[in-house]
Amino acid sequence: MQWEKLISAKRWGIDNDEVQDQDKARSQFQRDYDRLIFSSPFRRLQNKTQVFPLPGSVFVHNRLTHSLEVASVGRSLGAIFYNNLKKQDSKVDERLPLISEVGNMVAAACLAHDMGNPAFGHSGESALSRYFTDGDGSVYRSQLSDEQWHDFTHFEGNANALRILTHPFYGKGNGAFALTYTTLASIVKYPCDAIAGHVKGNIHQKKYGFFQSEQASFQTIATELGIIKAHDHPLIYKRHPLVYLVEAADDICYNIIDLEDAHRLKILTYDKIQELLLPLCNSSRMGKWLEDEFEDEDAKVSIMRAKAINNLITACSEVFMDNQQAMLSGNFNMGLTDALPEPFQTPWKAISKISVEKIYNYQSVVQIEVAGYKVMGGLLEEFIPAVMHNNTHYHQKLVKLIPKQFITKNTDVYSKIQSVLDFVSGMTDLYAVELYRNIKGISFPAIH
């Protein structure tokens, strides 16, 4: 792959228009960032669970605050990459006119990376899948191809993000978000279809990155940018190199920030947090300085978090630069954080281990995952038969509850089911609970 092709300001849905920077205040990639941050799907992330249940008196991160932080880290990673290129080649801007914008490209992709995730964290994805594997949705198996069935039985937020950003939802305009091709490619961590995903040992096939409905869309993007195709049937591509920076920004934020949230919620003690974060600060004087200068434990954790993230950004940038050619040839088969050198790799793995043991299996986290199964599954139980049959007064009333943008004119089973998944996966935690309670008769809707 070549940076000359990989970086493109061409926009999705307006391919025949000449791309010009008529807005002198913003580059094309800054416009991507702004379009995302002002969008409704991005705004709804404020009411979607990241890890812990949405806050009471103690604030913890939600999908929106997480995405903003990831974008901040991603911008730094991209900017460092450009600065390193500039040091190697003082004329790089002449050869690659858009390369100075790589920080904005990565930041925009980071903003969008979680836009396809449903309510209730990762359990929301499992809940939607379970309806088809173990629930009433299994009756539709014979009416779908193997590839379409995998889309539903392994519902994937990554693929859903690409759909949200490229699909012309009814009444929303044919260009969708009209983001640049490079921003779109940079969010696709697993550029293969569902039937090729979940392959251990291949980083680009760990999950999958596009539904059957968006397969042709991704092929168009990949062809335009010169992304390497690894296989035709099933369709598998190698990663766009900027995906590694987006992924690293996400990994750094959730691994470190989840510790901070766990401390605020008193799941982990300050001593344990210090034991985990100090090695990443890589400073022999940090511990004593914190004790001498600060009394507040939250402030101490914030200082260590900031220093750890800064060091991880630097380390990941070096890994990216050192392995740039392997990524361009499609042969770099691990994430940047997996390739961290010492003294960072050992504490990084320790944090990942304790996060699974103490944070992701904490009681309130498990409770919201269980609730997610009931709520998301319950909504599919009602809305999918209604859309599929629409032959009773009750079904017709349920269909009227679905916003027009999600109603499809297609008559095939795949498109009808996908229209319901578009609706349900876009819900916030609180809206999903409220709608579930209302249609199940658990509570009575108020008239507003």
- pLDDT tens, residue by residue, 270-312: 999 999 999 999 888 998 999 989 989 999 999 999 999 999 9
Over residues 119-124, mean pLDDT: 85
pLDDT at 174 over 70: no
Among 188, 226, 169, residue whose Cα is nearest residue 408: 169
Run of H or E including 3: helix 3-6
The answer to whether 167 and 176 are in contact (CB under 8 A) is yes
CA–CA gap between residue 198 and residue 208 (Å, rounded): 7
Over residues 54-69, mean pLDDT: 78
What band does 393 get if pLDDT is binned at 50, 70 and 90?
Answer: very high
Provide the phi-psi class of 282: left if phi over 0, else alpha when psi is between -120 and 50, else beta: left
- For 66, residues 6+ apart whose C-beta sits below 8 A from its C-beta are 50, 114, 253, 254, 257
Q: pLDDT tens-digit profile of 17-52? A: 555 555 566 899 999 999 999 999 999 999 887 766
- For 6, residues 6+ apart whose C-beta sits below 8 A from its C-beta are 182, 185, 225, 226, 227, 240, 241, 242
Say what the pLDDT of residue 127 is: 92
In this prediction the pTM is 0.94
Using DSSP's 3-state secondary structure scheme, residue 229 falls into strand
